[in-house]
């Protein structure tokens, strides 16, 4: 066994054990903690499997935002699960056994793990993404090149899904609470703890600068719009948790959130229309700088990453504020 395989097996074992423990845990707070742990293990596995960009996103989303959302909802509802009746277990087990059998049976046709000669790796598109992109797009991080240039239309679709999910949360939970609507005393904040206040004040600028760095460094290292967006949102979440919802909404008013959400999406779409008006196809950045396609690509990718970052951060912050408002005005 190589070092890689040994580490891989250990981490996969930890992952599986955590998943099983989550299934057994009836206290939902504890299950949420284990879900955060699961996300940490997942991110280490992403690093091990060379997916550094994905690990980045998982770090901010899994441990930061989704844990906070789950904990917030548990505070609003009930945090203890009823015993699962025997009657319900059987159909679940049946489906699991059937699906598991089908998956394992089908997996025999999959290429061996890590094989360099699998159909996917031999497909011409692999060469195109990894090597030809260096001439066509000219940025070292091929994940960013594929995300923001080759498959930019795909990414636009994903961004629209995030946007729609933000709208859905708002329409289900209602508008954000205005300060006069919050119950007195409900908006408990941690700013009275000097240690937390001071450390948060120290960390917040770092988080925001780091998000900007991740946004603009995404062409050369792990990073990009999605990652920067969720890091920004994590900063907003931390501020809201420590200084309270009212202060957070004074700093980031809801009209600004709306503005950013729409601005990002419009920038993305507008860039596509602009490339069409300049004579190219939708989101073909080559035409942005005639004669120097690489400059055009750089400019296009940067603008698209900024658009993604703006919309994602604003949607995530909006979602957090909606849940927090629900708690404060109940």
Q: Is 61 in the site for other proteins (CB under 8 A)?
A: yes
Judged by beta carbon, residue 108 or residue 180, the one nearer other proteins is 108
CB 230 within 8 A of CB 316: yes
Does position 208 bind other proteins by CB under 8 A?
A: no
Residues 171-200 that bind other proteins (CB under 8 A): 172-173, 185-186, 188, 190, 193, 195-196, 199-200
Return the number of other C-beta atoms located less than 10 Å from residue 191's C-beta: 13
53 lies in the binding site for other proteins (CB under 8 A) = yes
Q: Which CB sits closer to other proteins, 16 or 290?
A: 16
Q: Which of residues 7-26 bind other proteins (CB under 8 A)?
A: 7-23
Among 176, 182, 222, 300, binds other proteins (CB under 8 A): 222
CB 306 within 8 A of CB 214: no
User: Which candidate, 128, 241, 232, places its Cα nearest to that of 191?
Assistant: 241
Quickly count: other Cβ atoms within 10 Å of residue 102's Cβ: 10
DSSP state, residue 227: H
Considering beta carbons, is residue 12 or 259 the nearer one to other proteins?
12
Chain residues 92-151 in contact with other proteins, contact rule CB under 8 A = 92-93, 95-96, 99-100, 103-104, 107-108, 110, 112-116, 120-121, 125-126, 129-130, 134, 140-143, 145-147, 151
Interaction of residue 165 with other proteins, rule CB under 8 A = yes
User: Is position 230 an interface residue for other proteins (rule: CB under 8 A)?
Assistant: yes
Alpha-carbon span 23 to 248, nearest angstrom: 36
User: Is residue 30 within the footprint of other proteins (CB under 8 A)?
Assistant: yes
Contact between 297 and 271 under an 8 Å Cβ cutoff? The reply is: no
Residues 246-305 that bind other proteins (CB under 8 A): none
Q: Both ends of the chain: CA-CA distance in Å?
A: 57
Q: State residue 263 phi and psi, 5-degree precision.
A: -60, -45
């Amino acid at each position: 066994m190589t070092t890689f395989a040994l580490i891989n097996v250990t981490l996969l074992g930890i992952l599986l054990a955590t998943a099983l423990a989550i299934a057994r845990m009836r206290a939902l707070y504890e299950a949420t903690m284990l879900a955060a742990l699961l996300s940490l293990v997942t991110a280490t596995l992403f690093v091990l499997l060379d997916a550094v960009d994905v690990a980045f996103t998982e770090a901010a989303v899994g441990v930061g935002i989704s844990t906070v959302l789950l904990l917030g909802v548990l505070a609003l509802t009930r945090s203890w699960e009823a015993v699962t009746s025997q009657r319900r277990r059987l159909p679940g087990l049946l489906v699991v056994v059937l699906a598991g059998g089908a998956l394992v049976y089908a997996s025999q046709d999959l290429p061996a793990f890590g094989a360099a000669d699998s159909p996917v790796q031999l497909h011409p598109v692999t060469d195109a993404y990894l090597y030809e992109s260096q001439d066509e797009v000219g940025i070292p991080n091929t994940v960013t090149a594929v995300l923001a240039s080759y498959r930019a239309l795909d990414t636009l679709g994903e961004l629209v899904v995030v946007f729609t999910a933000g709208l859905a949360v708002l329409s289900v939970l209602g508008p954000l609470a205005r300060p006069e609507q919050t119950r007195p005393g409900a908006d408990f904040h941690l700013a009275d703890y000097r240690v937390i206040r001071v450390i948060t004040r120290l960390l917040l600028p770092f988080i925001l600068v780091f998000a900007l760095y991740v946004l603009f460094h995404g062409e050369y290292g792990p990073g990009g719009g999605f990652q920067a967006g969720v890091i920004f949102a994590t900063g907003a979440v931390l501020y809201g948790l420590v200084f309270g919802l009212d202060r957070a909404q004074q700093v980031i008013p809801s009209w600004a959130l709306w503005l950013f959400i729409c601005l990002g999406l419009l920038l993305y779409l507008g860039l596509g229309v602009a490339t069409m008006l300049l004579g190219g196809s939708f989101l073909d950045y080559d035409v942005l700088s005639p004669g120097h396609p690489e400059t055009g690509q750089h400019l296009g990718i940067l603008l698209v990453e900024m658009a993604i970052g703006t919309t994602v951060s604003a949607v995530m912050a909006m979602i957090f504020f909606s849940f927090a408002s629900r708690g404060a005005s109940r």
